[in-house]
Structures are given as C-alpha cells and as structure tokens.
C-alpha cells in the first residue's frame, strides 16, 4: 500500500515535467521481478544500501514481511574512519577491499565493525524468527542486494549468521547482454534490481 499523498506528489511531479505517469510500484515488487522471476521459493532479500538495510521475506513471489534497519554501508565507513584514524575515502576503500572476510589482516576492521554488523543481523534474525513462528515455514535461502553485496566475504558471513544458503543477486540475470559486458554486469548486478524490475514490468 502507498499513502495517497505520495501518489498525489508523484502525479504532480510528473505533470510538471511534462510526463505521463504510467503506474506506481513498490521497490520490493520490482526487485522480485528482476531477481527472482518465477521462482516461488521462500527467500529473504537483504538489500544493503548506503543509508539503510532493507529486509523482505518473499513467499510464492510476493513480499509478506518487510523491515528497514537504519544501519547500513555508510555507517560502517564512518565507524571504520573513526576507529582506524583514516579518511572516509580510505575507510570506504578498505571496506571494499577487505569486507567481512575473517582473516588476520581483517581482524582490526572486523572488531571495529562488529557492533554495527551485529545490529543489522540481530534485527534480521528477529524478523526471520517472527516469520517462522507465525507461519511454521522455513526460508530456503538469502539473496543479497545493494552495494554491500559486493563486500568480500559477505555471502559466507550472511550464511553463517542466518544458517541459510546465501547468494548475491544479479539484476541482469533475466536479460540478454553482450558477453563483453560481463565484468561490468558482475560489478553492478546487485545494485540495479529496482530499475531492472521496473523496466521489465511491461514485458513479463
């Protein structure tokens, strides 16, 4: 459901821009279309954005539980910058280079990020447990989206914390593209699920 004032706002903006509004859709529905397609298994979508982490339980192709956590990628960058005494740019580079890998070289980073990472996963575990308790059904796997999906070691970490298979989502999995684009697709695949899903709306 979308509040009426939000619909009115978008109608007004598109008219001012000289555009025709063909429809409105919640982000999760678009992501499901591009990432899962006709897959009817029970999936937890974890979207690690810069400002928030959004988690959605998808059952039979439809979102049945949604929750937003106000801790995300930029918070990890900030805490790394403060904890290691480096610039935000350097902290972002370190985060992308080492991610959530559990090695000696990453020990200091992991210890600094642990409180925030724990906050994200404690909330995620709570939502998963509520779903399981209410429905008696178990989740089949986790699909990771957003910029945070590119962090080294994130699939292994998510799988370990949630006790489920975890894979990185690819927004372009259901479209055809030249093989030469494969390296770029691999890099941006987890981040365009909404845009791709909206683009596919008229053709699937």
How many Cβ atoms are within 10 Å of 161's Cβ, its own excluded? 18
pLDDT at 102 over 70: no
- The predicted model gives 110-118 an average pLDDT of 93
Chain segment 19-69, per-residue pLDDT in tens: 988 888 889 999 999 999 999 999 999 999 999 999 999 999 999 999 999
- Tell me how many domains the chain contains: 1
Amino acid 80: pLDDT: 95
**11 neighbors 21 (Cβ within 8 angstroms):** yes
Structural domain of 51: 4-200
Angle ∠(46,202,178) on CA atoms, nearest 5: 70
The domain spanning residue 132 has which CATH number? 3.30.420.40
Q: Is the model more confident about 191 or about 1?
A: 191
Lookup result for tokens 């954005």: 49
């Amino acid at each position: 459901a979308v509040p009426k004032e939000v619909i009115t706002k978008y109608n007004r903006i598109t008219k001012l821009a000289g555009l025709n509004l063909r429809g409105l859709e919640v982000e999760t529905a678009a992501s499901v279309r591009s990432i899962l397609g006709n897959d009817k298994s029970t999936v937890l979508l974890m979207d690690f954005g810069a400002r928030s982490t959004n988690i959605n339980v998808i059952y039979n192709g439809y979102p049945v539980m949604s929750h937003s956590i106000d801790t995300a990628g930029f918070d990890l960058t900030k805490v790394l910058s403060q904890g290691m005494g480096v610039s935000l740019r350097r902290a972002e580079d370190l985060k992308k280079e080492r991610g959530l890998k559990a090695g000696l070289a990453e020990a200091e980073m992991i210890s600094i990020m642990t409180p925030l990472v724990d906050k994200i996963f404690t909330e995620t575990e709570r939502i998963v447990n509520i779903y399981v308790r209410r429905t008696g059904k178990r989740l089949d796997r986790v699909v990771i989206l957003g910029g945070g999906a590119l962090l080294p070691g994130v699939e292994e970490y998510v799988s370990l914390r949630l006790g489920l298979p975890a894979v990185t989502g690819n927004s372009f999995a259901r479209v055809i593209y030249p093989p030469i684009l494969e390296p770029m697709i691999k890099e941006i695949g987890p981040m365009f699920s909404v845009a791709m899903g909206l683009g596919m709306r008229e053709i699937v």
